[in-house]
Structure 1
């Protein structure tokens, strides 16, 4: 399913999130299962399915990472359930350094955690800009590798958040 078509949006990485939200709310009202309460069982089931598709499409297009994956899937590069690992030695070294840095952080070291957040945000922003350029150039394989890198960065952010929650 093409999520861009669902919202009648051009197939592009750059999405106006306010416009997306407005379209989502209109579709949500139009497709809501309560509007089909008097219909047949088939109509009710279809309304529930369309609402689920709507929610899935909205969540996908709202997230830059999921949107990029969806865009690549539309271009024939399916990253769902893949087992491919990065072959970029520089990034693999950076991953190890990040792992060591996070492991060395103490739970109460808010200055260290804050510094890690800032460095992570800067590196994530660089990768995000790189991804935008690669998608625009339709360099799908490199874009897929950049998505893999961004997934690591997002996972690392969740780990830093978990340190704060302890």
Structure 2
């Protein structure tokens, strides 16, 4: 039995590897189906009786498929990956500059969290606002990448989304502490 490599020439592009178009707004069910089809072909158990080379190749392809799948499934990782594919480094570690309006909103959220830490209703209302902000940001990222092909803007929006996600986790923790 030999290892069937779905598209070895696509190994430099996770989207091509799964036979998908390079879009931020990704059909996750199509991604799931493509991933499962590849895993059925390359799963190491399927090649347990193959040669050492075949087993090693199957393991490498399965590992690559897992990495590609996890990257494309997560919107932040998918956005960063698309920016990278188009030569834009989001510089997450070094570029923390954000627009003033965004920073002001973050400060307001933090103040509300501190001021209302014992008010479940207020925190749930804040959580709805944060969730709406996340949805709005995801739509802006979709527009920046899929329509405008503006990967610099997308990288800026993704940096903002990371801040929103971090705050949302803190807010969820505060709500959980009250429940």
Q: 2:39 aligns with which of 14, 23, 28?
A: 28
TM-score after normalising by structure 1: 0.90
User: What is the aligned-residue RMSD (CA, Å)?
Assistant: 1.7
Note the alpha carbon deviations across 1:137-164, whole angstroms, 9 max, x for none.
0111111111111111111111122223
Q: 1:81 to 1:128 in 2, by over 3 A?
A: closer
Quick one: which of 96, 101, 123 aligns to 1:113?
123
User: Which one of 152, 160, 165 corresponds to residue 171 of structure 2?
Assistant: 160
Alignment of 1:3-18 (within 5 A): 3-18=14-29
Question: What CA distance in whole angstroms lies between the structure 2 residues aligned with 1:2 and 1:45?
Answer: 21
Please say if residues 7 and 23 of structure 1, whose CA atoms lie closer than 8 Å, have aligned partners that are also in contact: yes
- Displacement of 1:80: 6.3
Matches within 5 A, 1:47-62: 47-62=58-73
Q: Call closer, same or farther: CA 1:81–1:33 in 2, change over 3 Å.
A: farther
Aligned to 2:5: none
TM-score (norm 2): 0.84
Contact 2:71/2:81, CA 8 A, preserved across alignment: yes
Q: Which ranges in structure 2 are unaligned for 5 or more consecutive residues?
A: 1-11
The number of equivalent residue pairs is 165
